[in-house]
Structure 1
Amino acid sequence: MLASSASRVGTLAVVGILALAGCSQETPRAVAVLDTPLPDIATSVLEQRGTIVQSTPVEGLDPAIADKLGEARTIVYRSVSAYDGQASEVASTVYRPRGDAPAGGWPVISYGHPTTGLGQDCGPSLSPDLRGYAPTLAAIAEAGFVVTMTDFQGLGWPGEHPYLEPRTAGFNMIDAVRAARNQYPDTSDKWMAVGGSQGGQASWAANEYSADYGSGLNLVGSVSTSPAVDITGFAEGARDETLTGAQTAFMPLIIDGLSVVHPDLEQNDYLRGAAAGELTGLTSCALPDTEKAALSTQLDASQVQPASDEATDRLTEWLTEASLPQRRAPAPMLVINGSDDELILPAWVSKAVDAGCRIGDRIVHREMAGQGHADADAGDEMYQWMLERFSGKDAPNECP
């Protein structure tokens, strides 16, 4: 995934990154209409987005990582729960580069992490190594970016985690940039959303909602690796008991996340056996990874099969609401996934990309042969694409 390849940022991004130009915009062609509106959000809530509630230095940081940074802080900032329009508080980690900011300020990367779990104890900001993502963020900061990684709502700070609810996750990524700029006034308004898996869905959503919810910031592009974009196939697969082992293991998390957005969801319509009885262990981060993996092996397709056709229909509706695209993305997109991904199937990603192309998105899509969900990596092409977006070069568009 992104963590396996982000060290290349240092070799590519350091050249020319400090002379940044504006992001060019293309005139959109005639396209289909798809425009999910913003939720109703009070003006007072909108005005507080990105406001810092708490800011503390990161303690216990590996000296080898600390030496690469100007500063590392854990920040709690205000954001919005998209499913109810209410204010929320979200934790994030921010790394600042060494030295003085370039003219125009440090460019920003908002990084969306893959699934860590659903409990408050699953927030990366709670551990100095960010659950393994500290080296990735350090490489990005060393290359000349302020980098911020949101925990997402409900992880690392009190609140409920609406797992795979894309608008909330996208809002969290956008507001993490606002918070980073409030913490470091020498930060540019130019930023990019980058993420993998759950974070890949979030970075795509952040792009889609950047024009209105992200007003005041200048998004130059988004990168989504193994993105959980069109996830409606989980409903049909659960009904027909055709889910892969990886998908079966994720169904308890999907159902638990949906219950936050849809409190009328009846858990016993979708989970039984170990999938229901071990739900806390499967979704929290209290257990070691080896024990969680052992719990997952107890699951089978019958334990996550909807109890009726009506339950399947409701699940399909809810997953459709949580799928992308939902509206045209203002900034260009790079989408990367593996041909051997058994969690988010390649056909699902291609379906979302095709839908994005139909509504006028500017997309480069790379399906990497022989790669899976956690190791999808487009190599140097990804970092070159990122550099070109920050430099203001016209974005390629490979949509038909």
Structure 2
Amino acid sequence: MRTRRAMATAVAAAALLVGCTAAPSPGDPPDDPAPQAAPPPSAAPGTLLDARPVALPDEALERLGATVTRVTYGSRSGLDGAPVRVSGVVIEPAGAPPPGGWPVVSFAHGTTGVADACAPSRSPGMLGQLPVVLPLVQRGYLVTATDYEGLGTPGPHPYLQPVSEGRSVIDAVHAARELVPAASNRWVALGPSQGGQAAWAAAELAGGSGLEFLGAVALAPPTDLAALVDDVPYGLSPLQRRFYPLVLYSLQLRHPQLDYADYLAGPALAAMGELERSCIPAAFGQAPASDFAPRSPAALARAKEWLEEFTLPRRPAAGPLFVAAGTGDDVVPVELVDAGVEAACELGDTVTYLRYPAGHPALPAAGDDALDWIADRFAGNPASSTC
């Protein structure tokens, strides 16, 4: 059995460092940004609100003849259920679709920040996400890639909140099908790290969506944020300090009574005002560990209780799961993923769980296995379970 400190370190690292990119340099917003008004209350989630072709951001995509469209669509906030506008991109392969229409993969990205400029659809290179998306397009999948609620559109980004993320992933499929009539209603979710959590959350919410959900690929998903605060008193590494404030930001959206001063001090506390202007302020990584010490045991306990809302699984998934973890992952340690998978198996989920001798987020090692698993879902082959 691991010591309490080892467990806390693993959970804290997993919760904090969930991005598949470092702090990105955001691209310039589109010259002709999409309208930003909230969708009408009568608009169904997934309604396509705006679509604008964009220049191909990658030579490989250009060689494939793919079509890239920046979209905005309606969804429901994970905070209060109100109508919200969500942005993203849809990438359609070239040529004629297969019988039944293009198979759809809804891609969920890793951490980029909480400011609007951190929306991948605003960057020509999708803030480093294209290497994950390109193999999907090469294999003939129509890819719809959400920015998530509050990234690139009005309102805050509920970072790592499963309901918000899951809704954005699902509604992106509806919007893609409205944009591309040749898209089928059969779809799979895929994401690394924060996106792994989002894909898993979508799997739990996909029932009754009016679509044929075939499964979700969750690569290094952070599943238990409730124990995040356990490690804070021991001191966070400089890299961990860059992401911890994003979790506090998201917690305060649900719990306005949260006082940042109960968890941060000095330059780290002062930098919280930059979060909605800068993707991941440098001050977080430069601040001393003492700036992140909670003010009291009571503050520590409150944060831990509130973070239970972010835990997965919360209910049985609507389809099979492919979960991957790297045994050398110091961002989302394998023990954390082990626990989430064990809980999903206890709920009766069909889970293919593979561990790789790899780091974060196990994507290079898991890539071929994940792509084969996706192909099997669209081929109608039954998913196996390692539970």
Q: If the TM-score is normalised by the length of the shorter chain, which range does it land in? A: 0.7 to 0.9
Match of 1:217 among 205, 211, 217: 211
Contact 2:19 2:193 in 1 (8 A): no
Residue in 2 that maps onto 1:77: 73
Residue in 1 that maps onto 2:319: 331
Q: 1:154 to 1:176 in 2, by over 3 A?
A: same
Contact 2:325 2:362 in 1 (8 A): no
Uncovered stretches (5+) of structure 1, i.e. residues with no partner: 5-43
Residue in 2 that maps onto 1:342: 330
3-state DSSP class of the match of 2:64?
Answer: coil
Match of 1:247 among 240, 258, 261: 240
Residue in 2 that maps onto 1:260: 253
**Does structure 1 residue 177 correspond to structure 2 residue 165?**
no
Deviation (angstroms), 1:297: 3.4
Q: 1:270 to 1:344 in 2, by over 3 A?
A: same
**Does structure 1 residue 118 correspond to structure 2 residue 114?**
yes
- The residue identity in structure 1 corresponding to 2:266 is G
For 2:349 and 2:115, how far apart are their aligned partners in 1? 34
Match of 1:302 among 280, 283, 290: 290
Match of 2:382 among 377, 381, 394: 394
Deviation (angstroms), 1:244: 4.6
- The residue identity in structure 1 corresponding to 2:359 is Q
After TM superposition, the structure 1 stretch with the greater mean CA deviation from structure 2, 132-141 or 164-173, is 132-141
Residue in 1 that maps onto 2:230: 236
Contact 2:51 2:72 in 1 (8 A): yes
The CA RMSD measured in Å over matched residues stands at 2.3
Deviation (angstroms), 1:59: 3.0
For 2:216 and 2:44, how far apart are their aligned partners in 1? 24
Deviation (angstroms), 1:270: 1.1
3-state DSSP class of the match of 1:297?
Answer: helix
After TM superposition, the structure 1 stretch with the greater mean CA deviation from structure 2, 119-128 or 362-371, is 362-371
Match of 1:226 among 195, 210, 220: 220
Residue in 1 that maps onto 2:6: none
3-state DSSP class of the match of 2:165?
Answer: helix
Q: 1:323 to 1:85 in 2, by over 3 A?
A: same
For 1:381 and 1:60, how far apart are their aligned partners in 2? 28
Match of 2:268 among 247, 263, 275: 275
- The residue identity in structure 2 corresponding to 1:91 is S
For residues 89-135 of structure 1, give each alpha carbon's deviation from its aligned partner in whole angstroms, at most 9, with x where no partner exists.
00010000111112111000000010001101100111221112234
For 1:260 and 1:2, how far apart are their aligned partners in 2? 20
The equivalences for 1:346-357 within 5 A come to 346-357=334-345
Contact 2:235 2:292 in 1 (8 A): no
Q: 1:279 to 1:374 in 2, by over 3 A?
A: farther
For 2:362 and 2:355, how far apart are their aligned partners in 1? 13
For 2:355 and 2:19, how far apart are their aligned partners in 1? 15
Q: 1:397 to 1:171 in 2, by over 3 A?
A: same
For residues 338-387 of structure 1, give each alpha carbon's deviation from its aligned partner in whole angstroms, at most 9, with x where no partner exists.
22222323222111111111111111112222423475632422221111
For 1:364 and 1:285, how far apart are their aligned partners in 2? 38
For 1:200 and 1:324, how far apart are their aligned partners in 2? 11
3-state DSSP class of the match of 2:132?
Answer: helix
Contact 2:267 2:287 in 1 (8 A): yes
For residues 5-47 of structure 1, give each alpha carbon's deviation from its aligned partner in whole angstroms, at most 9, with x where no partner exists.
xxxxxxxxxxxxxxxxxxxxxxxxxxxxxxxxxxxxxxx9585
**Does structure 1 residue 166 correspond to structure 2 residue 154?**
no
Deviation (angstroms), 1:394: 0.8
- The residue identity in structure 1 corresponding to 2:45 is R
3-state DSSP class of the match of 2:304?
Answer: helix
For 2:43 and 2:347, how far apart are their aligned partners in 1? 30
Residue in 1 that maps onto 2:305: 317
- The residue identity in structure 1 corresponding to 2:339 is K
For 1:199 and 1:312, how far apart are their aligned partners in 2? 27
TM-score by length of 2: 0.85
The equivalences for 1:136-175 within 5 A come to 136-175=132-171
3-state DSSP class of the match of 1:171?
Answer: helix
Q: 1:309 to 1:46 in 2, by over 3 A?
A: farther
Residue in 2 that maps onto 1:368: 356
Deviation (angstroms), 1:334: 0.8
Contact 1:340 1:373 in 2 (8 A): no
For residues 216-236 of structure 1, give each alpha carbon's deviation from its aligned partner in whole angstroms, at most 9, with x where no partner exists.
111111001111211222111
Deviation (angstroms), 1:2: 11
Match of 1:66 among 59, 62, 65: 62
Deviation (angstroms), 1:205: 0.3
Deviation (angstroms), 1:61: 2.9
Deviation (angstroms), 1:203: 0.1
**Does structure 1 residue 51 correspond to structure 2 residue 61?**
no
TM-score by length of 1: 0.82
For 2:59 and 2:357, how far apart are their aligned partners in 1? 37
Contact 2:112 2:279 in 1 (8 A): no
